[in-house]
Structure 1
Amino acid sequence: MDIDVRGPRFGAAVTTLVLAVVLITGNVWLLAWQTLAFALGAAGGVARSPYGWLFRKAVRPRLGPPTEFEAPQPPRFAQAVGLAFAVVGLAGYALGPTWLGLAATGAALAAAFLNSAFGYCLGCEMYLLVRRATVRVQ
């Protein structure tokens, strides 16, 4: 079942805010929260992530019906990519070096910002590249 494209963009906007606060404050617990959000989105799809739930309950009822849909697999893959960066960020902040935490969190922030501001999902594009490469190999 396809998903409303506005949901992942909303989630990316919240993620952008969360990761910006992490970079400003160095708050490891907030990064741990975002890591959990990425993990839930990667495991169950963006609709089952905390931000997907918030979009479905609080935002979508106030919007008109969706006019665009997308397959759930690319955003789910993007959540897994975000999870990988968040885990590396957590390791950097918690165990060192701190620059690793800053770099990984900054990379995740850049990707989330691109999705929220411009609708360009880097993880989704990676998914499509991987799919093309694996289809040619088989």
Structure 2
Amino acid sequence: MPDRTPGTPVRVDPRGQRFAAVLTSLVLLLVLATGSGTLLAAQAVVFALGAILGLRWSPYGWLYSRLVRPRLGPPQEFEDARPPRFAQAVGLAFAAIGMVGYLSGATWLGIAASAAALTAAFLNAAFGYCLGCELYLLTVRSRTRLGHG
């Protein structure tokens, strides 16, 4: 369950983000191996649920909280949920582009978008480096510098 005190952003277990990245990587590998726009659409739904409703409502977040986290015990630290939610939105954008490619016959576009999403998911799964989270932080810093934050 996310750690939250009134007035603070939702905080999540970072191990759950890596677990989700592993599952996402596996799904995207299957998409690339099969060229399935339908499977990519299913991954897009997972991204959309995490981005729109929150990480705990993502199917991968649900699996982590029910099956994995109880075996690991409580995390030593939590992280702000906003960067990983933004990363889910970025993943959704790439999945949508890839779906358009696969389903319209522009297979090269489907492959390129799926490969880009796989690269980001793999970086998180293998190394704990969330590319979408870094993009979120750059966006926030840019807005702050421009006086919009």
TM-based fold match above 0.5: yes
Q: Residue 130 of structure 2 aligns with which residue?
A: 121
> What letter is aligned with 1:64?
G
The structure with the largest alpha-carbon Rg is 2
More helix by share: 1
Q: Residue 137 of structure 1 aligns with which residue?
A: 146
Q: Residue 83 of structure 1 aligns with which residue?
A: 92
Q: Residue 6 of structure 1 aligns with which residue?
A: 15
Deviation at 1:48, TM superposition (A): 1.2
Q: Are residues 1:16 and 2:36 paired?
A: no
5+ long unaligned stretches in structure 1: none
Cα distance in structure 1, aligned partners of 2:103 and 2:65 = 33
5+ long unaligned stretches in structure 2: 1-9
Deviation at 1:10, TM superposition (A): 0.4
Cα distance in structure 2, aligned partners of 1:68 and 1:5 = 8
**CA RMSD after TM alignment:** 0.7
TM-score normalised over the length of structure 1 = 0.98
Deviations 1:65-84 (A, max 9, x none): 10121100000000000000
Deviation at 1:29, TM superposition (A): 1.6
Deviations 1:54-108 (A, max 9, x none): 0001110110210121100000000000000000000000013110000000000
Q: Residue 113 of structure 2 aligns with which residue?
A: 104
Deviation at 1:30, TM superposition (A): 1.0
Cα distance in structure 1, aligned partners of 2:27 and 2:77 = 26
> What letter is aligned with 2:57?
R
Q: Residue 6 of structure 2 aligns with which residue?
A: none
Moved over 2 A (4+): none
Q: Residue 27 of structure 1 aligns with which residue?
A: 36
Cα distance in structure 1, aligned partners of 2:124 and 2:104 = 30
Q: Residue 72 of structure 2 aligns with which residue?
A: 63
**How many percent of aligned residue pairs carry the same amino acid?**
62
TM-score normalised over the length of structure 2 = 0.91
Q: Residue 50 of structure 2 aligns with which residue?
A: 41
Q: What SS does structure 2 have at the residue aligned with 1:120?
A: coil
